[in-house]
Structures are given as C-alpha cells and as structure tokens.
Amino acid sequence: MNMIVFGCGRVGAAVAYALFKKGHKVSVVDADARAFGNLPPDFRGHTLQGDVLTVDILLRAGIEHAHAVAVVTRSDVINTVVAHVARAVYKVPNIVVRNYEPAKRPFQDAFGFQVISPSTWGAQRVCEMLSNPKFQTIGSSRDDAMKIIELVAPKAWEGKSLVNIAPLGQFAVISVTRSGRSFLPKPNERVAAGDVIQLSITCPAARTLQADMEKLQEA
C-alpha cells in the first residue's frame, strides 16, 4: 500500500522504517532535510523536504493515491490540519495523528481522528510498572473507553471463577496462559495462582481491579 509519514523525528523515522520493512511504498516528509538522518541506512522509501502544509508538497508526496497517512510532527496544530486536509480533501481512508502535548489532546479528539499520545501512554505504563508490575495495559480502544490489560493472578485468586474477578458486564476474558500454554477459557474456568490473564475491560473497571490488586500486593 501507499503510505505517507509526515514528520521524520524519532517516532516518524521508526514508523516509516517499520512500514517499509513490511513491504509498503513509503514517502516521508519533513521540513528539515537533516531529519532524514534518523532513517536507517537501508531505508529505500521516498524522502521529501518541504512544508507539509503546502499543496505542492502534499501532491509530490502522493497524497492523492495514499492508502494511509501518519502525521507525527512535533506540532499538534500542524498534525491536526494535515490530517483534516488528508481526510476532507483527499479522502485518505486511514489516518493516524500524533499527540505531542497532552493538554492539546481534546482538540485533536474533537476531529474524531485516531490519536496516539506517546507521552501520555508512556507515563501511564511507567506508573503501572512501578505501582503494580503484575498489571499491565497492552492496548486500548480508539476512544480510550476500553483497555486491554494483562495481569498475573495473585495467590488470593486461587480457585476463584474468572467471571468474578471484575464487575460483570464490564470485561471479557481474551486468553489465559497457564504453565506456558495459552487457551480460551470456559465461562466457569477457575483461576490458578500465576495465571497470565488478558482482559478487555472498561477503564473504570480496570482502575478498580488495579486498586484491588495493589491492596493484595501490600497485604
């Protein structure tokens, strides 16, 4: 597929290279030619220096035929404007927008884009790893209403039914790994201490579950 990455900082270069390695046709745009030095030597995509807000640069990057666009510059305003133009004018079907300053996230969310915030995500992960290393967020829904979490069942859960580990109706078990073997559990599956459990869960229920596990850890 034809992909365009706007912004070739550390994030943009990593995204562009990963897409290139997957076999996609990748164009990378940045206002500073020195930024292309962030790309690995074996990158064989197209690099283009210029202002991402100009029509000429957008067309030269191939936006008219792009299947997907990642807008990952350090300016939330530029990211939002470019994403809006890509969607509204050029009908690009798949657009991902980087959030650089967490305080500006609501502005980007208002447009209904797929927004990734490395700063916010990284801070959440660090806090989780420090407070409870056995409770990790590994994904989230586009609107952040749901999380995918992975946790290690404590001894206190031994023999407890999976359906009772969180409020009913607010989670679904994705998988259980026990003694190195992963499986889809039955509804009445009993927990064994040390089980690695992956859940899709609402954010409020996740916070409650995390707090409960932290109390068990402190006990």
Contact 135, 213 (CB under 8 A): yes
Q: Which element (helix H / strand E) includes 108?
A: helix 105-109
Tell me what pLDDT residue 13 has. Answer: 97
Tell me what pLDDT residue 213 has. Answer: 83
Tell me what pLDDT residue 167 has. Answer: 77
Tell me what pLDDT residue 141 has. Answer: 77
Q: What is the mean pLDDT of residues 1-11?
A: 96
Percent of the chain residues topping a pLDDT of 90: 64
Above 90 in pLDDT, residue 70? yes
Q: What is the mean pLDDT of residues 86-99?
A: 96
Domains of the chain: 2-116 (3.40.50.720), 123-218 (3.30.70.1450)
Above 80 in pLDDT, residue 132? no
* Average pLDDT of the chain to the nearest whole number: 90
Compute the distance between CA of residue 91 and CA of residue 87 in angstroms, rounded to an integer.
5
List, in order, residues 6 or more apart from 132 with CB less than 8 Å away. Answer: 210, 213, 214, 217
Compute the distance between CA of residue 176 and CA of residue 151 in angstroms, rounded to an integer.
10
Above 80 in pLDDT, residue 111? yes
pLDDT in tens, 12-27: 999 999 999 999 999 9
Is the model more confident about 186 or about 128?
186
Residue 131 binned pLDDT confidence (cut-offs 50, 70, 90): low
Tell me what pLDDT residue 120 has. Answer: 81
pTM: 0.69
